[in-house]
């Protein structure tokens, strides 16, 4: 009887393990498979760009072979630069890509190939986005968005969480758009010695990428309906985290308002056109951007991020005019989101 019980228990345990495997493995396989399919679509639409998806050890090995594939005279197209620094910038970019692979962080880098390149396409878009990151940890996407504070992560109510599969899908479109943007419109970062000017270029590039990814996500009509709303909320928290380039919540909101309900099956060309149009409305000119910086600076300090007063750009930002009403509105909105996400208060309603 005992041995029958034992056999039964082993069988039962095996069945449970098989069930768990059946539920977890396909989810990861789907993320990987979905990325492959999306990259194939982009490759067909842009035959002049070869897409490299680098991840893990295999990705690092591919990266080592990349300079030879790109050929002598290859040029990075993300940063405007003089010929004299071309090789240094390429090396810096290879180094940066290897760090992104190591850290499993999403990124995109665009190169123009050199004269003796072994590639047929004249451009190479290198994407890092590691599906393994999402394998064991339900919080992976949210960690990338709001940090590693496990107390905070545990507090986020289920309805305000973002899931790894939707995040990976959105992020792939976001990253690929960085390449498409540089390919179609020139370097994302014009040559500049001005730190605030570079910050503005980054802010502009990130907003454009999120405006594009929002429409693509809506157009595909897959995934969790609440994803974009929850993702936007987390983007708003970039202000206290002082990650200003990723403060794209207004850009996403413009994108949602502009195409809400009309998004199904938009063509890629239409989405690209929309991105330019919506960006013109949503992304402030540099002069107005300084008003945003002034509000963000005061808000971040009021919410406890005192470290930023020591940053190089703090003195410049302190000299900008500030609209008290806008600053108060920004602070209240962020406090509200922090309460909603991290307060453990399940009766709280989102009424902003």
Letters for 250-279 (x = contact with Zn ion by CB under 5 A, - = none) are ------------------------------
CB of 51 to Zn ion, least distance (A): 16
CA distance 227 to 249: 13
Among residues 127 and 334, whose Cβ is nearest to Zn ion? 127
Nearer to Zn ion, 46 or 203 (CB): 203
Nearer of residues 106 and 114 to Zn ion, judged by Cβ: 106
Report the nearest approach of Zn ion to the CB of residue 178 (Å).
6
Binding mask 194-233 for Zn ion (x = CB under 5 A): ------------x--x------------------------
- Residues shown for the chain: 352
Q: Considering just the CA atoms, what is the radius of gyration of the chain in Å?
A: 22
Residues that bind Zn ion (rule: CB under 5 A) add up to a total of 2
Nearest approach in angstroms of CB 88 to Zn ion is 23
Q: CB nearer to Zn ion: give 108 or 340.
A: 108
Tell me how far, at minimum, the Cβ of 69 lies from Zn ion, in Å: 24
Q: How far is the C-alpha of 82 from the C-alpha of 250, rounded, in Å? A: 34
For Zn ion, the closer CB: 119 or 278: 278
Shortest approach of Zn ion to residue 45 CB, angstroms?
A: 20
Residues contributing to the site for Zn ion (CB under 5 A): 206, 209
């Amino acid at each position: 009887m005992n041995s029958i019980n034992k056999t039964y228990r082993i069988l039962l345990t095996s069945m449970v393990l098989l069930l768990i495997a059946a539920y977890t493995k396909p989810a990861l396989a789907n993320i990987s498979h979905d990325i492959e399919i999306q990259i194939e679509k982009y490759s067909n639409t842009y035959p002049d760009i070869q897409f490299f998806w680098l991840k893990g050890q295999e990705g690092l090995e591919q990266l080592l072979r990349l300079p030879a594939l790109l050929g002598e005279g290859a040029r990075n197209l993300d940063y405007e630069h003089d010929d004299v620094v071309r090789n240094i910038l390429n090396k810096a970019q290879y180094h940066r890509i290897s760090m992104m692979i190591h850290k499993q962080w999403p990124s995109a880098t665009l190169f123009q190939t050199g004269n003796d390149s072994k590639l047929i396409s004249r451009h190479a878009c290198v994407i890092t986005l590691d599906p393994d990151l999402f394998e064991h940890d339900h919080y992976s996407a949210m960690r990338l968005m709001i940090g590693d504070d496990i107390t905070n992560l545990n507090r986020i109510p289920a309805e305000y969480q973002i899931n790894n599969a939707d995040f990976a899908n959105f992020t792939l479109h976001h990253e690929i758009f960085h390449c498409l943007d540089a390919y179609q419109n020139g370097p994302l970062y014009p040559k500049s010695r001005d730190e605030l000017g570079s910050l503005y270029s980054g802010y502009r590039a990130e907003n454009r990428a999120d405006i594009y990814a929002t429409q693509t996500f809506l157009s595909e009509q897959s995934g969790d309906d609440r994803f974009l709303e929850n993702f936007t909320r987390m983007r708003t928290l970039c202000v206290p985290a002082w990650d200003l380039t990723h403060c794209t919540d207004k850009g996403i909101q413009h994108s949602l308002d502009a195409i809400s309900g009309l998004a199904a099956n938009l063509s890629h060309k239409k989405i690209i056109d929309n991105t330019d149009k919506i960006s013109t409305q949503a992304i402030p000119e540099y002069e107005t951007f300084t008003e945003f910086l002034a509000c963000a600076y005061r808000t971040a300090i009021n919410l406890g991020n005192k470290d930023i007063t020591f940053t190089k750009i703090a003195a410049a930002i302190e000299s900008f005019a500030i609209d008290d009403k806008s600053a108060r509105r920004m602070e209240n909105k962020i406090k509200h989101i922090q309460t909603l996400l991290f307060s453990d208060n399940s009766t709280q309603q989102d009424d902003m």
